[in-house]
Chain A
């Protein structure tokens, strides 16, 4: 599928989905509640087959916390970027996609470790690099009073 066909297909799945033509990839913004069902659909549909999740990045947008998923199909070689945001900074929660792609296990643990976003139904959600007493360093309001990092 090329970009326009892909756009048509994703649009047809749900109403709440916002699609933007990015500089490189097709960027799809979904509400947190619909992320898992859309991801599953993109993985399992015959024409899309996004079987390779190559990057999960947690981003602190200031007000919101977001997670960005980069998906690729090894069969058709097309790429889509899924984005989701949550405004809850105290207890951010998303659905885990580790049951769809095994690689999400570690990548989501990394996001949890550095940004404090919890993933429900994750098989083994523990801190990865840091121990439990640390804050979440990749958040923009994180204060590091030991080292020189100021921003």
Chain B
């Protein structure tokens, strides 16, 4: 007995298992991670999900296409507008409806505003995860301005449900153009502050550079898309590869890095905010005239067949796989959600780093839990 005790040293033999979540400030929702540790080093991370599983795919099978739009908001609530768009585009593609330019431009501007506000909230909470509380106030201060623009036009701040098959719900508010232009002017001055506050901070750099490195091969094999995948050099921007709405009319850069560590996943999102502002500026002064929605039948029956539509949300590639049997309800809807797939890489990249780094790595993947669980 004594001999056995002697042979076991705490850091070599014993694995210590701790439970992180489901209620934990750095998991940003009800995500539970079971972490195996040796000393401070992470040996294994097992995500346990499903705490907010609502069965959206099952619910979709018993409701109409217009109603599905309102469920997609509740998946990735920070990219609500883009989630709406994927269902609308799939239905429009199936019905072969020609969408006027005005709608396309409105959707693109709204999508980019959504992307900016999502990245702002991510930046705010990522800074807070790493101990910089000021970030939270800066981020939310600027995000409020976009939410005000949404409120004026869509009638809602976060869960906008502004898209509908065939167009958008309401026309733009008369103030829209002016307010967006004011915001861009304002935010072009404020975004460099983000860099001053966090990007150049030496503590922040020490905690993120070289941490949680993801190689290009692994990024593709694990299917990591969005800014997280592009930080590893995986060219996966759907806006470039398969342009939808008005993305084929604008010029913008696809942000690509090769390092694939936490720091570059961070920088990729900051750079994306600049690109989003560029896209909005190209479009905001020339919104074409025309109707804001095409007249659709009150009961939409999608022709029999299979349809796949993908869009780029703030977190990666969102796909919808729609099987229709010709009825007013879809036969099967599958959402390929970016967060669900991005979560699967967490164990792979967090291994061998310290538990404090796990928080940084998890934050840099920008997970939104309702999108994982659906």
Contacts and interface: CB of A to CB of B under 8 A. Distances in A.
Given A149-B55, A149-B58, A23 B221 contact: no
A51 B220 contact: yes
B260 to A, nearest CB: 15
A-side binding surface: helix, strand, loop or mixed? loop
Contacts of A70: 308, 319, 321, 336
A25 B344 contact: no
Interface residues of A, number: 33
B332 A24 contact: no
B329 interface: yes
Interface stretch (A4-12, A28-36, A53-61, A85-93): A53-61
B122 interface: no
B126 interface: no
Contacts of A54: 223, 310, 317, 319, 336
A55 B222 contact: no
Nearest to B333: A57
Interface in A98-112: 101-103, 105-107, 110
B259 interface: no
B316 to A, nearest CB: 10
Interface string B278-306: 00000000000000000000000000011
A101 B221 contact: yes
A74 B235 contact: yes
Contacts of B344: 102-103, 105-106
A74 B62 contact: no
B332 A57 contact: yes
B-side binding surface: helix, strand, loop or mixed? mixed
B205 interface: no
Interface size of B as a range: 35 or more
Contacts of A133: none
Nearest to B319: A55
A117 interface: no
B159 to A, nearest CB: 21
A21 interface: no
B234 A53 contact: no
A25 B242 CA distance: 14
Contact of B62 (A59, A105, A149): A149
B57 interface: yes
Nearest to A100: B221
Nearest to B305: A23
Contacts of B55: 137, 149
Contacts of B332: 57, 59-60, 138
B295 to A, nearest CB: 24
Contacts of A102: 218, 221-223, 344-345, 348
A108 B310 CA distance: 20
B226 to A, nearest CB: 13
A22 B321 CA distance: 14
A103 B223 contact: yes
Interface in B337-365: 340-341, 343-345, 348
B58 to A, nearest CB: 5
A106 B58 contact: no
A17 to B, nearest CB: 18
Interface string B309-340: 01000000101010100000100101010001
A74 B53 CA distance: 32
A151 B308 contact: no
B234 A74 contact: yes
A106 B343 CA distance: 9
A137 B354 CA distance: 39
Nearest to A103: B223
Contacts of A55: 308, 319, 321, 334, 336
7 contacts: A23-B307, A55-B336, A70-B321, A101-B221, A102-B345, A110-B340, A129-B50
Given A55-B321, A74-B220, 10 more contacts: A54-B310, A54-B336, A70-B308, A70-B336, A74-B235, A101-B221, A103-B223, A128-B49, A150-B62, A151-B329
- In the complex, the 8 A-B pairs of residues with the closest C-beta atoms, listed nearest first: A129-B50, A103-B223, A57-B334, A151-B62, A106-B344, A129-B53, A55-B336, A102-B221
Interface of A: 22-25, 27, 51-55, 57, 59-60, 68, 70, 74, 77, 101-103, 105-107, 110, 114, 128-130, 137-138, 149-151
